Amino acid sequence: MRFTRKKKTLSLIVEGGNDYVVAVKENQGKLYRQIETIIRYRQPRQTASTPFECHHGRQEQRRVSVYSAQGIDPQRWQGTKTILCVERRRCTPDKCSIHRAYYLSSLATTARLWNNMVRGHWSIENQLHWPKDVVLHEDETYGRNPNALLNASLFRSITINLLRLNGFKSVTSALRELANQVERIFRLLQ
C-alpha cells in the first residue's frame, strides 16, 4: 500500500470512530527513523514482558514498550496516540536473536493489554495464515482474476477449519492421512 493511501485509510478509520494499529516498516524511511529516534531517547510510558516460553527446542520472550506519539506529525498520521515497540527474543541452542517491530496506533491502552493483543495476533498468524501460506501454498497462487483468488483463499480457510473441527491438530498430518481417501474426505463435510 502506498503511504498516501495508508494515510487516507487511517483518516477514514478515525473519522468513522474506530481505532487502528499499523506496522511501520524500514521502507518507510523518514517515519521509521523518527520512531527509532523516539525509542532511543525517550523512556517508555509502560513496558510488559512475557515470561520465557520453551517450544520446539527454543526459548522465546516478547516485550512491548509503549511510547507517546508526541513528535509524530498529526496531519500526516491522523489520530496517532501511541508508538509501540514489540521486541521478540528467541534463543535456540545455537544462537540468540532479537527482532524489533514498530507500530503506530490511535488506541491508548496499557502495555499489558498490548502484549496480549500481540500474542493474539500471532496465535491467528500461526493457526490460520501459516498453514495457508506454508502447507497449502497460498503465497504461490497466481492469477489475474481477483474473485478467483479470493475464492481459492476462502476454500483454504474452510479446509483448515473443517480439519480442525474434525479433530486434526496438524493440517500437514491431516493431508497425509487423508490422501487418496475420497470417501473419508466427503464424510468430513457432513
Separation of alpha carbons 178 and 190, rounded Å: 16
The Cα–Cα gap between 158 and 167 comes to 14
Count CA atoms within 13 Å of residue 101 on its CB side: 12
Cα separation of 171 and 179, whole Å? 12
Supply the pLDDT for residue 5. Answer: 62
Question: What are the pLDDT digits (tens) for 117-156?
Answer: 776 555 555 566 667 777 777 777 777 777 887 888 888 8
- What is the tens place of the pLDDT at every residue in 15-54? 888 888 888 888 888 899 999 999 999 999 988 887 777 7
Q: Which helix (H) or strand (E) holds 87?
A: strand 82-91
83, pLDDT greater than 80: yes
pTM exceeding 0.85: no
pLDDT of residue 153: 80
Domain spans of the chain? 3-108, 138-188
